[in-house]
Chains A and B, each alone.
Chain A
Amino acid sequence: MMWVEILSRQRDVASRFRIDGPEARIGRGYDNDVVVDDPYVAAQHLRIFRDETGQLVAEDMGSVNGTFLDGGNSRLARIMIDGSNPIRIGRTYLRIREFSHAVGGERIVRPERRRLPIALTMALGVAILGILVLDIWLGQTVEARASSYVTPLLTVAVILLGWVMIWALMSRIFSGRSRFVGNLMIALAGAVAFALYADVARVAAFAWTLSGVITYQYVAAWLILGVMCFLHLREVGRARLWLKAVLVTALVATAIGVQTLERSEAFSDSGRQVATWQLMPPSLRAVSFHDQSAFFGEIADLRAGLDRDRGQPRPDVAGQ
């Protein structure tokens, strides 16, 4: 007595046959106990029986394509059945199990913990909404209009929703569950991180005269996006995380490289810095005032760079 299970390519059970006799025949022909609709399987392909010791044995009945253990390359005439390692005939995977095959204890049903992630997601949603509204409000220097709030907020909402839907769909396809809340939480956290970075950068550019934090804002944006993608991929499936990490890292590095190149080419075309001049209320100043002579000392130092640039050939006529 045994069970013959036909497995999918993901090695999930696709169908299961109960064999009450001592022997089972498997093949494409209709005289078998288990009929396999696989053109690469012989009409009579495999026989499962018990040897003298009572051990289940699979025996190839002279098929052309042979019988293999899952993942093995060597053709086997006889295979000792251990109930765990699948067998491959043609392009079909099989697993044979005894009636006595031991199964593990039942998993404990965890109490529903959906409330926490939902609360967290909502908090993140409120946070991003708050930051966006605050940014718009603080940047508003003309007559306030409802559309100047509604349009950007809706745009962000639609983009976030679209993004989450794509990842939920991927999760559904590859892991069977859409994990909408998890994906939404990741997307919102990413948006909050980026909005916070942008605000902190603006303040820092003024308070500490660090214009670099605005100039290189795109690097931060790509890094945040990379982390988001990795977390989404982790949500889709936890297998081969290192591979996903490598993939995401490579993509982020490429994106940063390409954008850096693009910016440096745009700079050599226009000669203008991306605007970083940013004023804030004077009370946010975090460094002390420098004396005028120090300021002009720094300015005098710019001259050497300008004169060096003058010595360089023009970008468009190099070699003329």
Chain B
Amino acid sequence: MGDLLTVSATVVARALRFLFIIVAIGRGAARAVELPSSAAEAIYAAAPPRLLQIRTVVAGAGRQISLGSGFLVSADGLAITNYHVVSQVALAPKTYRLEYVAADGSRGDVSLLGIDLPNDLAVVRLDKHDAPFFSFDKTAMQGSLPKGERLYSMGNPLDLGFTIIEGTYNGLVEHSYNERIHFAGALNPGMSGGPAVTAGGLVVGINVATRRGSQLVSFLVPAHFAAALLERVRGLEVPADLRPEVSRQLVAWRSALYKSFGEAGFRSTRLGPYGAPEAAASWFDCWAYTNAEVTPKPRANINSTSCSSDTSVFVASDLNTGAIEINQSYVKTVDLNQFQFAAFLTRLSQPRLVGGGPFRKWYTPERCHEDFVSVTPAPEHPPLRAIWCAQAYREFDGLYDVALVAVTQDHESRALVSRLSLQAVGYDDAMALGKRFLEAVQTVK
């Protein structure tokens, strides 16, 4: 989706995860007339008691290692923030603990109550009672907020102090498996977990990410996920260890994702004399590449398509995983002989497993199998040289990263290189998809 709104320790000496709470202003936006000089001013005037900065503190050192924002949503001290603001505590509760700092400077302990990993949300409990809190916007939860509606996002960017940012609601992001609101506003690192509210002060979404290399393209998690999570964990005890929950949610979310991917299946796109499988699901983004205009003039032409899904989820500060990618390259020699052409294909088709985090911490060593493969019936299916590489996640039973590469073997001067890479996939799902993928590589008359 984009860059999460945290500042990494390498960027700023400390990593900032900010939570801002926006104050719900009185019910009813109709009172805009009565507002002081601007809507933002009015909203912010009411926000401070409901906004929080949430700090992840190194238990053994007593200081923060990262900062984020959050906001109160109930009178009994429940607050919403991003999962990625509290992930260190969820995964290593002995090393880290949570603290909040309110706008008036008061601070206190925070305990992690529940998480929604796919939607990057968490509910925390504060030892703060009877404070004012934010409410969710009913219109937005039903998805009927009009595009162009003004939104006000709050948070503590770069630990500079609680800030309010004006922006525009642009509906849900297209081609996205995860439901996210496109917010045109300048979210900055540290605002993660802060609320975005309407002029009426009702929460529409939660600050989560921006798109790198763009201006003002920011993302919010729709409020209905937060409301659902709150409903689910309200009244629960603070769990001792959230790791099994992280693992359970990740596995459940991935299997739903791959089920949906499998149901949509593959559609064939024509590349030279081959029919090449592309992902049919609507949440894939497909692009083309050619080396035709490269200098020096290439000695083999590549025309390729690449479909990728934006389905990575934040699991830990060093693990984002879940991307799916399909590459199809049709390669045809210009003046390479068949050995040179094979060397060219070798380079193009290396079976890389792209892990989403440091190997030793998260993955087992990869294991590969390669062979000449024939898919029946022969005339429509070119013979293949295929390799499958897989690695398992140490922490998450039943999840693997898989790469499948197939190179057609029916001609010595042209070939289709097909690559399927699946992150955080169940092994059976991966095999079923791999089979269908190879079956979808066809010769077109």
Contact = CB atoms under 8 A, between A and B. Distances in A.
User: A and B: real partners?
Assistant: yes
Interface of A: 137-143, 206, 209, 211, 267-273, 275, 277-283, 285, 287-292, 294-296, 298-300, 302-303, 305-307, 309-310, 312, 314-316
Given A141-B343, A299-B388, A310 B438 contact: no
A142 B361 contact: no
Contacts of B91: none
B351 A277 contact: yes
B407 interface: yes
A310 B391 CA distance: 9
A310 B397 contact: yes
B346 A278 contact: yes
Contacts of A271: 359-360, 363-366, 391
Interface in B315-363: 336-347, 349-351, 353, 359-361, 363
B272 to A, nearest CB: 16
Nearest to A286: B372
A138 B363 contact: no
Interface stretch (B113-121, B188-196, B281-289, B427-435): B427-435
Nearest to B427: A303
B394 A279 contact: no
Name the residue among A139, A287, A305, A306 with the largest chain B CB count within 10 angstroms: A306
Q: Which one of B347, B367, B368, B397 has the greatest number of beta carbons of chain A within 10 Å?
A: B367
Q: Which 6 residue pairs across A and B have the least CB separation, nearest first? A: A309-B364, A289-B374, A281-B338, A271-B365, A138-B339, A306-B392
A174 to B, nearest CB: 45
B372 A289 contact: yes
B361 A314 contact: yes
Interface size class of B (residues with CB under 8 A): 35 or more
Interface stretch (B56-64, B162-170, B242-250, B379-387): B379-387
A295 B371 contact: yes
B63 to A, nearest CB: 24
B213 interface: no
B365 A275 contact: no
Nearest to B345: A279
B342 A280 contact: yes
B292 to A, nearest CB: 15
A2 B314 CA distance: 99
B157 to A, nearest CB: 36
Contact of B372 (A290, A303, A306): A290
B188 to A, nearest CB: 35
A160 B258 CA distance: 56
B52 to A, nearest CB: 33
A155 B301 CA distance: 33
Contacts of A141: 299-300, 336, 340-341, 343-344, 347
Given A299-B388, A299-B434, A279 B373 contact: no
Contact of B394 (A138, A206, A285, A314): A314
Given A143-B296, A292-B375, A314-B394, A279 B360 contact: no
B296 A281 contact: no
29 contacts: A141-B336, A209-B371, A209-B372, A271-B364, A271-B366, A271-B391, A272-B353, A272-B359, A272-B365, A273-B368, A277-B387, A279-B407, A281-B341, A282-B383, A282-B412, A283-B412, A287-B372, A292-B374, A292-B439, A295-B371, A295-B373, A296-B435, A299-B390, A299-B431, A300-B427, A302-B369, A306-B390, A306-B427, A310-B392
A281 B336 CA distance: 12
B410 interface: yes
B437 to A, nearest CB: 11
A300 B388 CA distance: 11
B299 A292 contact: no
Contacts of A273: 366, 368
A282 B340 CA distance: 12
A309 B395 CA distance: 12
Contacts of B372: 209, 285, 287-290
B261 interface: no
B412 A281 contact: yes
B400 interface: yes
Given A141-B299, A143-B296, A292 B409 contact: no
B127 interface: no
B370 interface: yes
Interface in B409-445: 409-412, 427, 431, 434-435, 438-439
Contacts of A294: 371
Given A275-B350, A277-B370, A302-B388, A268 B365 contact: yes
Nearest to A298: B369
Contacts of A275: 350
B360 A295 contact: no
A300 B431 contact: yes
B329 to A, nearest CB: 13
Contacts of B410: 282
B349 A277 contact: yes
Contact of B367 (A140, A285, A302): A302
A137 B338 CA distance: 12
B340 A138 contact: yes
Contacts of B342: 279-281
A136 to B, nearest CB: 11
Contacts of A285: 372, 409
Given A141-B347, A310-B397, A282 B411 contact: yes
A85 B346 CA distance: 69
Nearest to B394: A310
Contact of B371 (A277, A290, A307): A290
B37 interface: no
Contact of A292 (B297, B339, B345, B373): B373
